[in-house]
């Protein structure tokens, strides 16, 4: 009997890559905290996960249709993974140099992302341990 990694690991294999990418983006924001004009960015985790795993955002809803010439034509929007990387809106007013990095907020986002990464890693380690145990008992 063949084992499919998609069945064993589920969506968690995709979350690891996205969390890693998000950590790099947040670390880049922190590294550029004093760079004039730098705009803080972040990865939209939900959108990235939907794209990575090939999921549908909302099921059982009709597709959006263009009913007016003034509406944006969504068919011309490319299916680009960079659409998940978005600019972050600052909580505080501009500091005068055009930089939107808020160090405390970035640190909290980095810590939160790290905790979620570790939780996924523990889940995957548990799955791998169960697989190894099943293989040893079946041999």
pLDDT in tens, 36-76: 999 999 998 888 888 887 765 555 455 667 788 877 665 55
pLDDT in tens, 12-40: 888 999 999 999 999 999 999 999 999 99
Which contacts qualify for 114-120: CB closer than 8 Å, 24 or more apart?
114/23, 116/15, 116/19, 117/16, 117/19, 117/20, 117/23, 120/12, 120/15, 120/16, 120/19
Query: Is residue 114 in a domain?
Result: yes
Query: Is residue 102 in a domain?
Result: yes
> Would the pTM count as exceeding 0.85?
no
Q: How far apart are CA 81 and CA 51, in angstroms?
A: 7
Query: Is residue 52 in a domain?
Result: yes
Q: How far apart are CA 36 and CA 29, in angstroms?
A: 12
Overall domain count for the chain? 1
Query: Is residue 119 in a domain?
Result: yes
Beta-carbon neighbour count of residue 7 at 10 Å?
8
Query: Is residue 64 in a domain?
Result: no
Phi, psi of 94, deg, nearest 5: -60, 140
SS3 call for 86? strand
Query: Is residue 92 in a domain?
Result: no
Query: What range does the domain containing 36 cover?
Result: 10-56+77-87+97-138
Is 18:44 a contact under the CB 8 Å cutoff?
no
pLDDT in tens, 64-114: 677 888 776 655 555 554 557 888 888 887 667 889 999 999 999 999 999
């Amino acid at each position: 009997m063949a084992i499919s990694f998609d069945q064993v690991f589920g969506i968690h294999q995709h979350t690891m890559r996205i969390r890693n990418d998000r950590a790099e983006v947040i670390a880049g924001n922190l590294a550029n905290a004093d760079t004039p004009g730098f705009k803080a960015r972040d990865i939209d985790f939900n959108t990235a996960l939907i794209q990575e795993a090939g999921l549908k955002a909302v099921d059982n809803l009709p597709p959006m249709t263009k009913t007016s010439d003034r509406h944006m034509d969504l068919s011309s929007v490319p299916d680009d993974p960079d659409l998940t990387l978005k600019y972050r809106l600052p909580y505080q007013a501009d500091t005068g140099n055009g930089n939107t990095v808020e160090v405390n907020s970035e640190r909290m986002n980095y810590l939160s992302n790290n905790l979620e990464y570790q939780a996924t890693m523990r889940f995957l380690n548990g799955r791998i341990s169960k697989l190894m145990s099943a293989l040893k008992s079946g041999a």
